[in-house]
Amino acid sequence: MTKNKSLEKLELQLAMMVRRIKKQTANVNKEQQLKSASYLILLLISESGPMGVKQIASLLHLDISTVSRQAAELQEEGKLEKKQSKKDGRSYDYQLTNKGIESLNKAHHYRQERFRKVTDEWDDNDIETFAHLLKKFNDIGNE
């Protein structure tokens, strides 16, 4: 198969995946009650510790205003708290609250169950290969 044909197949499959994700996003958000951007922010802070809006935006490749809006919403919901930065007293970091941890765990469990159902007939090697190739593809946009 030529590279052009392979690229056409890739483009089609990505377009179909994006359509499928958009269609299912509304249902996922209702079920887990957490927007995708909010989930990523909570997950990042959970894994990396307290951090400010600029650092979150940089690591997630999101606009600062988007992160600021989402973080403020999460703070209002009691899932994040804003504290003076230990590194720089002039700035603030967000950290998870117990409610934020609970919300993240619930969303993570829901997402894992969905992926389990989708990949039920795949072996571990297929899942690893797919995850590796997706990471490789996503890393290109992060350079």
Q: Check which CATH number belongs to the domain holding 132 and give it.
A: 1.10.10.10
Closest to 79 measured CA to CA, from 60, 106, 112, 110: 106
Closest to 104 measured CA to CA, from 57, 36, 11: 36
Residue 135 lies in a domain: yes
- The 10s digit of each residue's pLDDT in 57-111 is 999 989 999 999 999 999 999 999 999 988 877 889 999 999 999 999 998 888 8
Residue 28 lies in a domain: yes
- The 10s digit of each residue's pLDDT in 8-17 is 888 898 898 8
Closest to 74 measured CA to CA, from 96, 93, 89, 44: 96
Number of domain units in the chain: 1
Residue 11 lies in a domain: no
- The whole-angstrom separation of Cα 139 and Cα 143 is 7
With the C-alpha atoms ordered 48, 51, 55, 57, is the resulting torsion angle positive or negative? Answer: positive
